[in-house]
């Protein structure tokens, strides 16, 4: 056994405890980020030996296709080109439902915001987007899935007035919003299914903390196992000032 193996396994077990749905590649990326010089194969071998196996997932759902067999999708070309958004849902411990509005940057895979409320309506969507437009500027296009909140004329008219476009398919077809589908599934798998939320405020705090972790720490496979928006550490110059 290598001299460092015991400490490495301890770190692997701690990461498995914190992020039970992460596979060995994502765990290896986090270990390297923490300073370990370790490759994926070693993490896989040690994880198998220690029984650190990701539980079997449920079967994936098939994608929704148009009648002609095509799947219409606008591909993002730069950071603020396409912002998709969609709804999630869950319940607090008392059984009361709450919903989440998840807004993403499809090019960078960053989660821009998650709004957690008992009920969400077009006004909430406009309010959340307004905050982001002020902070980040107006994106090229807003993409969303279908549903009463998303096809509301008030939302569509507001988006158009800001100068953004909507990736909208006429009634009878579908919004093709795979980025949000993937994010919502990851959020349920890695967070919602493993948490008990008591008051709504607790859900808001825990979900916001998870959003920040996803952006700054969680390795993303589509980005070469790097986080979408890693934290920048600025080292202060501690040298004495010379007079």
Q: What is the CATH number of the domain that holds 89?
A: 3.30.420.10
C-alpha torsion angle, residues 24, 29, 31, 36 (rounded to 10): 120
Same structural domain for residues 42 and 156? no
Q: Is residue 61 in a domain?
A: no
Region for 191 from its dihedrals, namely left if φ exceeds 0, alpha if ψ lies in -120 to 50, beta otherwise = alpha
Q: Lowest-pLDDT range, 29-33, 55-59, 88-92, 134-138?
A: 55-59
- On the 0-12 / 13-18 / 19+ scale of CB atoms within 10 A, 118 is exposed
Is the distance from CB of 32 to CB of 2 less than 8 angstroms? Answer: no
Task: Establish if 212 belongs to a structural domain.
Answer: yes
Percent of the chain topping pLDDT 70: 77
Model pLDDT, residue 69: 39
Contact 77, 175 (CB under 8 A): no
Which of 90-94, 164-168, 189-193, 234-238 is least confident?
A: 234-238
| pLDDT score, position 233 | 41
Angstrom distance (rounded) from CA 109 to CA 220: 8
d(CA 137, CA 83): 12
Tokens of 81: 């080109």
**Is there a contact between 177 and 86 (Cβ–Cβ < 8 Å)?**
yes
Q: What is the chain's mean pLDDT, rounded?
A: 80
Which residues in 129-141 are b (16+ Cβ under 10 Å) and which e? Answer: beebbeeeeebbb
- Based on the fold, state whether residues 15 and 118 are members of the same structural domain: no
**191 and 111 fall within a common domain:** yes
Give the domain range for residue 191: 82-223
CA 63 to chain CA mean position, Å: 19
* pLDDT tens sequence across 208-242: 999 999 999 998 888 888 899 886 543 333 344 34
Which pLDDT value is given to residue 240? 42
* Domain membership flag for residue 67: no
161 and 46 within one domain: no
Residue 163 has pLDDT above 70, yes or no: yes
Does residue 243 lie in a domain region?
no
Higher pLDDT, 176 or 172: 176
- Same domain flag for 111 and 215: yes
Domain for residue 126, yes or no? yes
Name which of 3-7, 74-78, 122-126, 232-236 the model is least confident about.
232-236
Q: Above 60 in pLDDT, residue 22?
A: yes
Residues 45 and 86 in one domain: no
pTM over 0.85: no
Give domain status of residue 75, yes or no: no
In a domain, 66, yes or no: no
- If one counts every other C-beta atom within 10 angstroms of the C-beta of residue 184, the result is 19
Residue 179 pLDDT exceeds 90: no
Mean pLDDT along residues 142-151? 65
The answer to whether position 240 is within a domain reads no
Overall domain count for the chain: 2
């Amino acid at each position: 056994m290598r001299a460092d193996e015991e400490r490495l396994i301890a770190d692997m077990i701690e990461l498995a405890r914190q992020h039970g749905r992460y596979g060995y590649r994502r765990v290896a990326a986090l270990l390297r980020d923490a300073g370990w010089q370790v490759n994926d194969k070693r993490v896989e071998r040690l994880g198998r030996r220690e029984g650190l196996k990701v539980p079997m997932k449920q079967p994936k759902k098939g994608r929704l296709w148009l009648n002609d067999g095509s799947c219409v999708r606008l591909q993002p070309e730069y950071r603020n080109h396409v912002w998709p958004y969609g709804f999630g849902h869950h319940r607090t411990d008392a059984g009361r439902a709450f919903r989440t509005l998840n807004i993403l940057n499809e090019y960078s895979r960053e989660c821009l915001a998650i709004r957690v409320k008992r009920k969400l309506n077009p006004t909430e969507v406009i309010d959340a987007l307004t905050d982001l437009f002020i902070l980040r500027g107006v994106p090229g296009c807003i993409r969303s899935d279908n549903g009463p909140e998303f096809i509301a004329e008030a939302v569509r008219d507001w988006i158009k007035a800001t100068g953004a476009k909507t990736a909208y398919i006429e009634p009878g077809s579908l919004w093709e919003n795979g980025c949000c589908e993937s994010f919502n599934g990851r959020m349920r798998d890695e967070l919602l299914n493993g948490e008990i939320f008591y008051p709504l405020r607790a859900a808001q705090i825990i979900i916001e903390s998870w959003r920040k972790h996803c952006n700054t720490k969680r390795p993303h496979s589509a980005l070469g196992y790097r986080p979408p928006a890693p934290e920048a550490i600025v080292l202060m110059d501690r040298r004495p000032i010379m007079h």
